[in-house]
Amino acid sequence: MHRRSSLIILLVGLVWVGNLTAADKLRIGYSGATVSNAMLWVTDEGKLFQKNGIDPQILYLQTTLGRTAREIDMCVYSGSLLSAARLQGVDVVMVASFLNKPLYRLVVRPGIRTVADLKGKRLGITRFGTVTDSMSRLLVNKLGLDAEKDVSYIQVGDVPVLLASLSTGRIIDGAIIQPPYYSKAVASGMRVLVNMQEMDIPVQKTGLNTTQKFIAKSPDVVRRVVKSVIEGIHLMRTNSSVAKRALSRRMQIKEEKNWKTPINC
């Protein structure tokens, strides 16, 4: 009886180890610590990739989509960046969409009271060719100004540097910033001139991307990753504590007051 029990324990152990080693390792990249990337973080925080047999390595990569797609298996980037990547010869495609409208607020210095006041001003962007670049130009055009003539664009860096540059006023006069970061700018004396979320602009924002080559090579892996993300959407909407924990860890935000904007907007 003792030998039989030991054999059962051994078999269970072998099955358990087999399940551990069966997970497919996957590199998934994202380009910035912004709320648009929340779905990736929530899915990871809820261990949903592991549930579906995926062992993910979540990577923060400050590169263009064209370069990133060659370094990783899948990525979370805006749809507006896919065309540039394809022009670079990358067969990148979006397999799941998380967000179909921009969440940005155009935050400006106190002296800028109207859209007309933007003429001749400097708007900060993270890097040329990124989403902040394309969305800033889109917004300026939507406001009735000439995006290429009426304002200038200054490449500043990631959001913390963008916020600091805006507060000093020596480098830029305004910038589009996502929640909850824009509230920090407002707290420092800046003001929200335009809320892009209220403009209802149909734009393919963040989604899960990969390449046609990877889909052809590993179709089941892609299906399981998409399944994980769909489960992550459900988790975000039904368990706000997990969602807040995921965003707090990735965005380094601890104060509860900074979550006044819904994270599932």
> Is residue 120 scored above 50 in pLDDT?
yes
> Is residue 177 scored above 80 in pLDDT?
yes
Q: Which CATH class is domain 24-100+204-259?
A: alpha beta
Distance CA 157, CA 139 (A): 20
CA torsion through residues 213, 218, 219, 222, sign: negative
Place of tokens 């106190």: 110
Convert the pLDDT of each residue in 79-98 to its tens digit: 878 887 888 888 899 999 98
SS3 189: coil
Please, how many CA atoms are within 13 Å of residue 103, restricted to the half-sphere of its CB?
Answer: 21
CA 163, 175, 29, 62: dihedral to nearest 10 degrees? -70
pLDDT of residue 33: 79
Distance CA 32, CA 159 (A): 9
Is residue 262 very low, low, confident or very high in pLDDT (cuts 50, 70, 90)? very low
CA torsion through residues 210, 215, 218, 221, sign: positive
Asked whether 43 and 232 are in contact (CB, 8 A), the reply is yes
> Is residue 250 scored above 70 in pLDDT?
yes
Asked whether 102 and 201 are in contact (CB, 8 A), the reply is yes
Place of tokens 């060659």: 70
Convert the pLDDT of each residue in 216-232 to its tens digit: 999 999 999 999 999 99
pLDDT of residue 63: 60
pLDDT of residue 151: 97
pLDDT of residue 78: 86
Residue 131 Cα to chain centre, angstroms: 10
> Is residue 192 scored above 60 in pLDDT?
yes
Convert the pLDDT of each residue in 7-35 to its tens digit: 444 444 444 444 445 689 999 998 877 88
CATH superfamily for domain 105-199: Periplasmic binding protein-like II (3.40.190.10)
**Domain locations in the chain?**
24-100+204-259, 105-199
CA 137, 142, 143, 146: dihedral to nearest 10 degrees? 50
pLDDT of residue 203: 87
Please, how many CA atoms are within 13 Å of residue 143, restricted to the half-sphere of its CB?
Answer: 22
pTM of the complete model: 0.76
Q: Which two tokens stand for residue 176?
A: 């589009």
Q: Do 105-199 and 24-100+204-259 have the same topology in CATH?
A: yes
Residue 185 Cα to chain centre, angstroms: 20
